[in-house]
């Protein structure tokens, strides 16, 4: 039966596909697609794991002391039975052979399917067996983790065999999860999922940001979507309104199919603006830059007509590596790839911003920090580990020998932090001098994303060559709402007068001393805010490549001079949203 679920629209467009549920309750599980040619090998891998676990359980049984309670032996029997249950092994085989999931993903998926069956059982004794099944699956996962996998991830999931949509199209897949970390999303970046849904997350959570960077429709904060939607259900994701429609009727399907085509046509229309310079009607030149997560994203940035990278979130090189951080050479090569990928255009590399909703990896996800967004994050994390930070600084300075590089520092709030950072940059240069290694000049920038920074702009402008406003965090910290928490998502307001005040001051004070200011938070890519930002004097916007052309269209239609007075009226109003909607 058809039903709908409401969440937060975070990445535009319509996606229609079959649900793939990722069991993120066992978050420490690798999810990737395998090459279909390796499916048999993957099935064999899980058989070996299952047999090894069976042997382990049998051994525990054999070694039970004589006086062990009989319930214990009976419980081990149940575990053995569950492990060898046909429904488990047939299901796992299905996910591997038909869907090309890796073994770990296959077994957790099948666990979710069986767990639901247990939940529905009347008999409380049987219902409780779910916990036993979970323990058995955990054992298998532990074994798989310890054993090296000969099967390589395949970047492109193949459509399920035997299932066709229309004539010959592969069945599209949409990913449904309780939660996905930014690192998980990155893993899926190369895949062919046509849409994403998570139960948790806010509009500017990093999971949402990565979804946007993939330019794939996504809805986050959909509360219980992952328990209401079943594996293989047909789902429509409306990334414009945040609505999910599960098991849609043919009429609804047709309607959304139409909307989908309209969106495609609009994109096609916009693509004609690619080579048009971003200049307002009154001849104000505007820089439209790209935000990237990986060096390989530079290609999409150039393709979208970006005039440089305004924000390279370098932390994505550090994530999902089980704590083994990239060394200097690996980082250097990655930064050079980004610089070369931009073909002579400038690249702003932000030093690592780990923490809050960007844990290093799954093991650190629930680090025992009371409030990670206010904890050891970004520059605080870097300054707490000078050797790690110096490694990154050397890599960036060396990459600057290959092109125009700007170095951007996140989340500064204290003068002490500014001084420490600058002195470490000097130290990194001295280390390279000592080694006789080449490096290039960099312009130094600070992110304005903590209200404290926005309230001491003269100091920041004294120490730095340019400023970049991280509105995602500036809003989070000004309004005291967790940007990743869907429960307070309704309070996340880019048009709050306090936020606009800080934004306007930063732009104005930068202009007053002739230092560039850009916005690299999600506000920069929001077309409904382009005119306001132009009116406030902003001439540099950094956003995901997928948003550049739509923002360019707004720039081309705007008269920045005329917008100035209106923008001042907006920021003086106690209801700016009303004026922005009806200028
Ligand atoms: C921001 O805070 O606006 C920003 C661009 O940085 P991030 O989203 O990575 O925190
Ligand atoms: Mg930030």
Which entry of 31, 100, 178, 520 is annotated as an active-site residue?
520
Q: Residue 199 in contact with residue 178, Cβ under 8 Å?
A: yes
From the candidates 31, 178, 206, 544, give the one annotated as an active-site residue. 206
- The verdict on 228 and 311 lying in the same domain is no
278 inside domain: yes
Structure tokens that stand for 19 in this block? 């649900």
301 CB less than 6 Å from ligand 1? Answer: no
In a domain, 26, yes or no: no
Looking at 145, 177, 199, which one is the last position of a domain? 145
Map residue 291 onto helix, strand or coil: strand
Same domain, 137 and 161: no
Q: Helix (H, G, I), strand (E, B), or coil: what is residue 256?
A: helix
Is residue 27 situated within a structural domain?
Answer: no
Whether 165 and 281 share a structural domain: no
Query: Per this entry, what is the length of the chain?
Result: 583
Q: Does the residue 30 lie in any domain? A: no
Among 249, 214, 246, 198, smallest CA distance to 13 is for 214
Give the domain extent around 436: 272-581
Q: Domain holding 422: CATH number?
A: 3.20.20.60
Distance from residue 240's CA to the centre of ligand 1 (Å)? 22
Both 163 and 79 in one domain: the answer is: no
Same domain, 515 and 539: yes
* Per-residue tens of pLDDT for the chain, all 583 residues: 899 999 999 999 999 999 988 765 555 577 788 899 999 999 999 999 999 999 998 988 888 878 777 778 888 899 999 999 999 999 999 999 998 889 998 998 899 889 888 888 888 888 888 888 988 998 898 888 877 655 555 544 443 333 333 332 367 889 998 888 777 777 777 667 899 999 998 888 888 888 888 889 999 999 899 989 988 899 999 999 999 999 999 999 999 999 999 999 999 999 999 999 999 999 999 999 999 999 999 999 999 999 999 999 999 999 877 778 999 999 999 999 999 999 999 999 999 999 888 888 755 554 566 788 999 999 999 999 999 999 999 999 999 999 999 999 999 999 999 999 999 999 999 999 999 999 999 999 999 999 999 999 999 999 999 999 999 999 999 999 999 888 999 999 999 999 999 999 999 999 999 999 999 999 999 999 999 999 999 999 999 999 999 999 999 999 999 999 999 999 999 999 999 985 4
| CATH number for the domain that contains residue 40 | 1.10.274.10
Other Cβ atoms closer than 10 A to 256: 19
Residue 206 annotated in active site? yes
* Residue 28 within a domain: no
Q: Is 31 domain-assigned?
A: no
Whole-number pLDDT of residue 26: 53
Bridge partners for 11 per DSSP: 218
Which of 95, 129, 145 terminates a domain? The answer is 145
pTM (whole model) above 0.75: yes
Q: How many CA atoms lie within 13 A of 576 on its CB side?
A: 20
The answer for 405, left when phi > 0, alpha when psi is -120 to 50, beta otherwise, is beta
Q: What is the CATH number of the domain that holds 206?
A: 3.50.30.10
Atom of ligand 1 nearest to the CA of 209: 8
Q: Do 456 and 320 lie in a common domain?
A: yes
Is 411 part of a structural domain of the chain?
yes
- Residue 240, Cβ density class (10 Å: 0-12 exposed, 13-18 middle, ≥19 buried): middle
Q: Are residues 44 and 139 in the same domain?
A: yes
From residue 487, how far is each of 134, 482, 483 by CA, in Å?
29, 9, 10
Q: Is 402 a catalytic residue?
A: no
CA–CA dist 338, 329 (Å, integer): 14
Report the candidate in 469, 574, 547, 548 with the shortest Cα–Cα distance to residue 215: 547
pLDDT on residue 24: 53
Domain final position from 238, 253, 269: 269
Most informative mutation of 447, 454, 499 for ligand 1 (most atoms within 8 A of CB) = 447
> Taking the alpha carbons of 332, 468, 209, 383 in that order, is the dihedral positive or negative?
positive
Using a 6 Å cutoff on CB, does residue 471 contact ligand 1? Answer: yes
One domain, residues 253 and 164: yes
E-strand stretches of 137-249: 153-154, 164-165, 169-170, 173-177, 195-198, 218-220, 234-238, 243-246
Do 309 and 401 reside in the same domain of the chain? yes
Are residue 297 and residue 445 in the same domain, yes or no?
yes
β-strand 195-198 against 218-220: which pairing, if any? Answer: parallel
445 class by beta-carbon count within 10 Å (0-12 exposed, 13-18 middle, 19+ buried): buried
Rounded distance from Cα 56 to ligand 1 centre (Å): 48
Same domain, 247 and 323: no
User: Does 407 lie in the same domain as 354?
Assistant: yes
According to the model, what pLDDT value does residue 61 have? 85
* 539 Cβ inside 6 Å of ligand 1: no
Rounded to an integer, what distance in angstroms lies between the CA atom of residue 551 and that of residue 424?
A: 37
**Number of compact structural domains in the chain:** 3
Q: Does residue 257 form part of some domain?
A: yes
Ligand 1 atom with the shortest distance to the CA of 311: 5
- Sign, CA dihedral 436-438-443-446, equals negative
Residues with CB under 5 A from ligand 2 (ion): 449, 470, 473
């Amino acid at each position: 039966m058809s039903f709908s679920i409401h969440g937060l629209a975070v990445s535009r467009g319509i996606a229609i596909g079959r649900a793939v549920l990722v069991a993120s309750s066992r978050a420490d599980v690798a999810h990737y697609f395998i090459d279909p040619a390796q499916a048999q090998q993957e099935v064999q891998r899980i058989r070996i794991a299952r047999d090894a676990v069976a042997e382990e359980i049998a051994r525990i049984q054999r070694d039970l002391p004589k006086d062990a309670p009989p319930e214990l032996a009976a419980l081990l029997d149940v575990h053995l039975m569950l492990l060898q249950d046909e429904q488990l092994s047939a299901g796992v085989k299905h996910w591997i052979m038909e869907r090309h999931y890796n073994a770990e993903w296959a077994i957790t998926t099948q666990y979710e399917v069986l767990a639901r069956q247990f939940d529905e059982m009347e008999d409380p004794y049987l219902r409780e067996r779910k916990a036993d099944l979970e323990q058995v699956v955990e054992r298998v996962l532990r074994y798989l983790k310890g054993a090296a996998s000969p099967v390589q991830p395949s970047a492109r999931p193949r459509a399920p065999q035997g299932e066709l949509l229309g004539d010959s199209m592969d069945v599209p897949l949409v990913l449904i999860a309780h939660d996905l970390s930014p690192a998980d999303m990155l893993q899926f970046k190369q895949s062919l999922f046509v849409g994403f849904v998570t139960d948790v997350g806010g509009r500017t959570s990093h999971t949402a940001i990565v979804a946007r960077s993939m330019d794939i429709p996504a809805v986050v904060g959909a509360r219980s979507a992952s328990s209401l939607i079943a594996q293989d259900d047909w789902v429509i994701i409306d990334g414009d309104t945040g609505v999910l429609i599960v098991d849609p009727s043919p009429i609804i399907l047709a309607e959304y199919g139409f909307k989908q085509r309209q969106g495609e046509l609009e994109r096609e229309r916009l693509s004609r603006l690619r080579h048009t310079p971003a200049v307002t009607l009154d001849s104000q030149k505007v820089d439209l830059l790209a935000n990237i997560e990986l060096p390989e994203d530079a290609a999409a940035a150039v393709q979208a007509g970006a005039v440089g990278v305004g924000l390279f979130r370098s932390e994505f090189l550090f994530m999902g590596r089980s704590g083994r951080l990239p060394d200097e050479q690996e980082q250097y090569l990655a930064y050079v790839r980004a610089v070369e990928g931009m073909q002579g255009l400038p690249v702003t590399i932000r030093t690592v911003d780990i923490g809050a909703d960007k844990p290093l990896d799954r093991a650190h996800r629930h680090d025992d920090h009371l409030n990670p967004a206010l904890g050891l994050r970004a520059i605080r994390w870097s300054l707490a580990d000078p050797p790690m930070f110096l490694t990154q600084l050397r890599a960036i300075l060396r990459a600057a020998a290959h092109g125009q590089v700007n170095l951007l520092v996140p989340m500064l709030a204290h003068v002490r932090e500014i001084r420490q950072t600058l002195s470490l940059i000097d130290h990194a240069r001295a280390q390279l001098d000592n080694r006789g290694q080449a490096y290039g000049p960099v312009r130094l920038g600070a992110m304005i994303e903590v209200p404290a920074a926005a309230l001491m702009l003269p100091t920041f402008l004294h120490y730095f060559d340019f400023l970049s406003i991280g509105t995602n965090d500036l809003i989070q910290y000004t309004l005291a709402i967790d940007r990743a928490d869907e429960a307070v998502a309704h309070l996340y307001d880019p048009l709050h007068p306090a936020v606009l005040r800080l934004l306007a001051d930063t732009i104005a004070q930068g202009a007053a001393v002739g230092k560039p200011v850009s916005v690299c938070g999600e506000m920069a890519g929001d077309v409904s805010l382009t005119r306001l930002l132009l009116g406030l004097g902003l001439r540099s916007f950094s956003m995901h490549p997928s948003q550049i052309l739509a923002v360019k269209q707004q720039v081309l239609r705007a008269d920045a001079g005329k917008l100035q007075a209106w923008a001042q009226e907006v920021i003086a109003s106690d209801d700016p949203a009303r004026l922005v909607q009806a200028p």
